[in-house]
Structure 1
Amino acid sequence: MKIPLLATLLHVLSLVQAAPARSNSDSNPGLRGSESLVGYSPSEPSASKSAPDIKYTLLPGQKEDPNIGSYLDFEKADNPQPIRGSSGGDDPGPRNYNYDRINSDKLAPPGTDHGQTINAQWPMGLSHNRLGIEGAGWARQENTVVMPDAKMMAGVDMRLEPAAYRELHWHVASEWSLVLNGSCRIQAINENGETFIDDLNAGDVWFFPPGIPHSIQALDDGVEFLLVFDDGDFSEDNTFLATEVFLHTPKEVLAKNLGLTTSAFDNIPGDELYIFKGTPAPADIEEQNVTTSAGLVPRTQSYSYHFSEQEAHNVAGGSVKIVDPINFPIASNFSAAIVTVHPGGMREIHWHPTSDEWTFFISGQGRATLFTAPNAATTFDYRAGDVGYFPKSNSHYIENTGDEDLVFVEVLQAPQFTDMALGQWIASTPKQIISDTLNLSNDTLSKLKKEKQYVVAGNTTS
């Protein structure tokens, strides 16, 4: 008697399902434990394990009400712990103690932090470093690849060794620069054929509009500078380079365009140069002052501003000096302030109504709390070489948490450097309204200052 085909298939499937699962690893049972380890097993109870012995000493600020939010200097703590008041708990690891020590407000945030803001911090030290040819220098950048919410501006930190060039190039984005140390010579020509050349020192600023070709060469002491671009997606790797233009244009076309023979281009570089060493610039800048019939770029449209020679405005907690289109007209939408905060002081709580703020920390250390409506707040710790980013109308401060001056530059996309100061707002609003809203006493309100402070001095009274 023949068994129907369907019955045969069902019989085979039942045998397959009943067979124990097998794998290629069965030949080496030592790779996996026994079946008795799966789930609860009353006959084989788990062995008791002792809790880790964690030894630490809390800093005084960790014993306070978390809402006081004192800065915690974990660099001096043997085993920093994520504890503030009754909040948090000890951490036996695994963990990176180096990060914890310099980011105490991430490990043990103030009780006033809440929810999640954007990531407003990027250390340039974590950026990939692009190295120049034969020890000519380096460049590392911050953009939306590493700070996705920093959409309005991107930055580059670049170093050129003595006589090294940042190759002749131009950008689609505008380029604003602050010389951090050393000196350099910059050169450019505009669309009218007017030429420009100048020597800049630490603290000076330059600006090149989109499409303006220019070059930068370090002088005898080398140079390091900060570049800020008005596009968060900007990449320093995507600039228009002179070498690439020549490499990717037919030689016959180049020859016709420049009135030369094709053999004139036999020795052009076979690849981009980007950062490379060249012949030292002559000490006398006039030797390189090439002009056309159009003459020089007018002084009112100069591509450089000797910001290092501008006096700072001194206030109780430090100093501020501003460069914006009012005193540097060519930089039509770039406004910046260099802020110095003495130990214990802080850049007052403020926000910028029309622009995001891109901040670079030049020296010292500090912290800032970014507040985003309706109730998100995150506190970040910053060191020299870090980038901070604060979206428009989001309030923040920057407090000096070290024992030396904190220096940073705030850059805006705005025709004038402006901000709204929390202190001035509260002090210049009728006292009845503030008292009804915040329940502050008249004595407290009478102590508020109606003028912007920019930087306030340290206050240790409770």
Structure 2
Amino acid sequence: MSEKPMPEDLPAEDDEARLSRRRVIGTGAALGGAALGGALAATAGGAARAEHGSATPASDASAKLDTEAHLFRLTSAEPNRYDGGTLRGAHEGTFPVLTGQQASVYYVELEIGGLREPHWHPTAWELNYIISGTADWTILGTHPDGTYRNDAFEAKQGDLVFVPQGFFHYFANSSTEQPLQVLVVFNTSAQEPNDDIGIVATVNSLPREILAAAFGVPVAAFGAVPTEVKPVVITKRT
């Protein structure tokens, strides 16, 4: 039997032969790795399908979407009409998807000379966006220094006005040529009358003699104050 040649007995490889051999080995390793990776991926995919089931077709996924209506055509809604303008609201009573979401939206349109009764909201702040026209605003609230701060200003198209929760405020159409359109957003799902206390309601919540003492005038001075309390008042300047 012939003896197996020892490494030192093998013919020497030149540089080109060694390079060729390394290429063959590297290619084989790469192909083997790719095959192994593919096998592992297939195995993992099969396990995932076995555990979670097949992918849900798009049509089936669509059928599982919330069936609640998510669209409310605010400006097309039937408005509440007042002497000085109109009010349309998207709240839990008209737009059920808002129930429990702490959000409601109103579209207010004030005619020339129209104004929103001075009022305040005990449990909600509001953010007002001026869609068109100009508005006179007054916002009254206490501040850390213990004094009252009364902000009076004019807001124009494209402006935002924020009224903190509980601050007394009003706005009016300051234009003599065009209506005022305002989008009002509240952090409450309830309709506005449920969180709206107007100045007429405030005055009528107190006995006339208390009002007279607070204002330093005779009780008779409040004889002409109306006693009818309305939930929302949009009226005109007299």
Question: Normalised by the size of structure 2, how large is the TM-score?
Answer: 0.65
The structural deviation recorded for 1:237 is 5.7
* CA deviation profile, 1:252-292 (whole Å, cap 9, x unmatched): 1111122121101011134347111105xxxxxxxxxxxxx
Partner of 2:91: 143
Mapped pair 1:154 → 2:104: yes
Conserved 8 A contact 2:135-2:156: yes
1:43-442 aligned at under 5 Å gives the runs 111=59, 113-117=62-66, 118-125=68-75, 127-133=77-83, 136-150=84-98, 151-172=101-122, 173-191=124-142, 192-220=147-175, 221-236=178-193, 238-272=195-229, 274-279=233-238
Partner of 2:50: none
Task: Name the aligned partner's letter for residue 127 of structure 2.
Answer: W
Q: Secondary structure at the match of 1:195?
A: strand
Partner of 2:31: none
| Alpha-carbon separation, structure 2, partners of 1:158 and 1:237 | 17
Task: Name the aligned partner's letter for residue 248 of structure 1.
Answer: S
Between Structure 1 and Structure 2, how many residues are aligned?
Answer: 168
The structural deviation recorded for 1:203 is 0.8
User: Structure 1's 204 and 236: CA in aligned 2 closer, same or farther, altered over 3 A?
Assistant: farther
* CA deviation profile, 1:303-327 (whole Å, cap 9, x unmatched): xxxxxxxxxxxxxxxxxxxxxxxxx
Conserved 8 A contact 1:128-1:141: no
Conserved 8 A contact 1:163-1:278: yes
Q: Secondary structure at the match of 1:120?
A: coil
| Alpha-carbon separation, structure 2, partners of 1:178 and 1:236 | 20
Partner of 1:310: none
| Alpha-carbon separation, structure 2, partners of 1:190 and 1:142 | 27
* CA deviation profile, 1:336-373 (whole Å, cap 9, x unmatched): xxxxxxxxxxxxxxxxxxxxxxxxxxxxxxxxxxxxxx
Task: Name the aligned partner's letter for residue 227 of structure 1.
Answer: V
Greater relative CO, 1 or 2 (CA 8 Å, sep 6+): 2
Question: Normalised by the size of structure 1, how large is the TM-score?
Answer: 0.34
| Alpha-carbon separation, structure 1, partners of 2:129 and 2:189 | 18
Q: Secondary structure at the match of 1:253?
A: helix
Percent identical pairs in the alignment equals 20
Task: Name the aligned partner's letter for residue 164 of structure 1.
Answer: G
Q: Which entry has the higher C-alpha Rg, 1 or 2?
A: 2
| Alpha-carbon separation, structure 1, partners of 2:113 and 2:229 | 18
Conserved 8 A contact 1:141-1:236: no
| Alpha-carbon separation, structure 1, partners of 2:138 and 2:75 | 29
Q: Secondary structure at the match of 1:113?
A: helix
Conserved 8 A contact 2:75-2:107: no
| Alpha-carbon separation, structure 1, partners of 2:109 and 2:121 | 19
Task: Name the aligned partner's letter for residue 220 of structure 2.
Answer: S
Name whichever structure is richer in helix by fraction. Answer: 2
Conserved 8 A contact 1:154-1:232: yes
Conserved 8 A contact 1:156-1:236: no
| Alpha-carbon separation, structure 2, partners of 1:215 and 1:159 | 14
Partner of 1:436: none
User: Structure 1's 243 and 149: CA in aligned 2 closer, same or farther, altered over 3 A?
Assistant: same
Task: Name the aligned partner's letter for residue 235 of structure 2.
Answer: F
| Alpha-carbon separation, structure 2, partners of 1:259 and 1:245 | 18
Partner of 1:292: none
The structural deviation recorded for 1:145 is 1.5
Task: Name the aligned partner's letter for residue 162 of structure 1.
Answer: I
| Alpha-carbon separation, structure 2, partners of 1:160 and 1:126 | 17
Task: Name the aligned partner's letter for residue 175 of structure 1.
Answer: E
